[in-house]
Amino acid sequence: MTQEEYARLETTYGTNNYKPFDVVIARGKGVWVWDTDGNRYLDCVSAYGAVNHGHCHPKIHKAFVEQADKVSIVSRAFRTDQAGPLYKELCDLTGSRRAILMNSGVEAVETALKAVRKWGYQKKKIPEGKAEIIVCSGNFHGRTIAVIGFSSVEKYRQGFGPFPGGFKVVPYGDVKALKEAITPATAGFLVEPIQGEGGMNVPPDGFLREAAKLCAASNVCLLLDEIQTGLGRTGKLLAEEHDAVKADAVILGKSLGGGFLPVSAVLARGEILDVFGPGDHGSTFGANPLACAVGRAALKVLVEEELVANAARMGAHLKKEIEGLSSPIVKRVKGRGMMLGIEIVPDAPSAEELCTRLIREGLLCNTAGSGIVRLTPPIVMDDEEAGWALERIQKVFKA
Ligand SMILES: *Cc1c(COP(=O)(O)O)cnc(C)c1O
């Protein structure tokens, strides 16, 4: 079939809740993917960070196949020889005390929200039904009804109400507004250390540190959504380290699945996850042994191949080189580590149009927020691959 025919099948029989570029990918390896006609592209989206390790990483692939040969899914009525080790490895790596495993990112967000509400009632003694959770404008935490209910993007909400209550929105990066929003009924503050979908927004210096102090002083749990920023993407294992913060709970997803499977987790430092008892919460596929084996391999590769340090070095290099182009259409390069966004000046070709041009040159990218070209390549990227990408970027942004 031609790429047009594949696209037509998708638009005819699938649901058009996305508007993808018409590149039909058939294969991937490392930072590269190939379309059905055999054209090669460098993947600078990497599934929004789900492919930090690159496509089809050989060690993760090996773990995947070996576990698939043994057992993949076991009912949560029984234990497995993969879940316990992954819980421990996650906790050891991140300095957490307890973990819970889910599948998609938003499921882990919902898990954190349920845990912090229950914590609020049990431990903070908030009157039943009154717990509040504070979130930020420009947030992206996924697509369930509760989570879109506190989105500030109207399109995400339009037509999907009514929404659950108990959420307050404050401006991102504004400690004063956070302080004013906290009441005795506030159980948690949910925030992304850097907003990805919102447009690669890095908050003002010290925001997270001040927010963490404020939360600690007010007995409010700080919940960091590190689904996109976590596991090396920003040049630190967790983005909270940039502000020397230790959140009460950290939410991981995307790259925890090593580019193979959806694997998400909530990792808690304090007493938060202790509120769950048998039957309180769950997921059929959460912590399945195949996902756990893949998650374990993903963590092992991250450490063994020193991917966090690579992301820090390579991200700084990419940022410097793109800034160095002094392109008249680039307003600035946003982001941190390998979570970058090129902000386009008004009156220039749109970010969508620039993505189309980059894709034509063999560089897969897409937009974030508005007017921003997202650059989030796999963090395994080496110097030669970065050079290849920069040549294409230069060509498009200098033209
Ligand atoms: C992608 C993302 C999510 C949602 O993850 P899904 O796996 O799509 O449910 C939540 N929060 C952040 C910060 C994300 O980037």
59-304 maps to which CATH number? 3.40.640.10
pTM for this entry: 0.98
pLDDT in tens, 273-307: 999 999 999 999 999 999 999 999 999 999 999 99
Q: Does ligand 1 lie within 6 Å of residue 142's CB atom? A: yes
Q: What is the mean pLDDT of the chain?
A: 97
What confidence tens digit (pLDDT) does each residue in 139-166 have? Answer: 999 999 999 999 999 999 999 999 999 9
Task: Please report the beta strands in the chain, taking only residues with DSSP state E, as ranges in sequence order.
Answer: 25-29, 32-35, 40-43, 98-102, 132-136, 167-170, 186-191, 221-225, 249-252, 264-268, 330-336, 339-344, 363-364, 366-368, 372-375
pLDDT at 190 over 90: yes
Instruction: Assess whether the C-beta atom of 310 lies below 6 angstroms from ligand 1.
Output: no
Inter-axis angle of helices 351-360 and 383-398, nearest 10: 120
Q: How far is the CA of 167 from the centre of ligand 1 (A)?
A: 18
Q: Is the CB of 378 under 6 A from ligand 1?
A: no
Give the atom of ligand 1 at the shortest distance from the alpha carbon of 147. 10
Whether 399 shows a pLDDT value over 80: the answer reads no
Cβ(105) – ligand 1 distance below 6 Å: yes
Burial class (CB in 10 A: 0-12, 13-18, 19+), 15: exposed
Beta carbon of 253 within 6 Å of any ligand 1 atom: yes
If you average pLDDT over residues 58-79, what whole number do you get? 97
Strands 25-29 and 32-35: antiparallel
| pLDDT tens digits, 8-56 | 999 999 999 999 998 999 999 999 999 999 999 999 999 999 999 999 9
Q: Which atom belonging to ligand 1 lies closest to the Cα atom of 251?
A: 11
Q: Please tell me if the CB atom of residue 141 comes closer than 6 angstroms to any atom of ligand 1.
A: yes
The alpha carbon of 200 and the centre of ligand 1 are apart by a number of angstroms equal to 14
Mean pLDDT of 243-257: 97
pLDDT at 398: 87
Q: What are phi and psi of 122, to 5 degrees?
A: -75, -45
Q: Round to whole Å and give the CA distance between 393 and 399.
A: 10
376 touches ligand 1 (CB under 6 Å): no
Please say if 168 is a catalytic residue: no
- Strand 98-102 vs strand 40-43: parallel, antiparallel, or unpaired? unpaired
Catalytic residue among 225, 243, 246, 334: 225
* Nearest alpha carbon to residue 244 among 278, 286, 290, 212: 212
What is the residue with the minimal CA distance to atom 10 of ligand 1?
141
Beta-carbon count within 10 A of 346 CB? 8
CB 225 near ligand 1, within 6 Å: yes
Instruction: For 119-187, give the DSSP string.
Output: HHHHTS-PPTT--EEEEETT----SSHHHHHT-S-HHHHTT-------EEEE-TT-HHHHHHH--TTEE
Q: Is 225 a catalytic residue?
A: yes
Could you report how far apart the first and last alpha carbons of the chain are, in Å? 34
140 catalytic? Reply is yes
User: Which CATH superfamily, name and number, covers 3-57+306-397?
Assistant: Aspartate Aminotransferase, domain 1 (3.90.1150.10)
Q: Which of 140, 260, 276, 285 is catalytic?
A: 140
Q: Which of 103, 110, 111, 227 to mutate to test ligand 1, by most ligand atoms within 8 A of the CB atom?
A: 227
Q: Where are the domains of the chain?
A: 3-57+306-397, 59-304
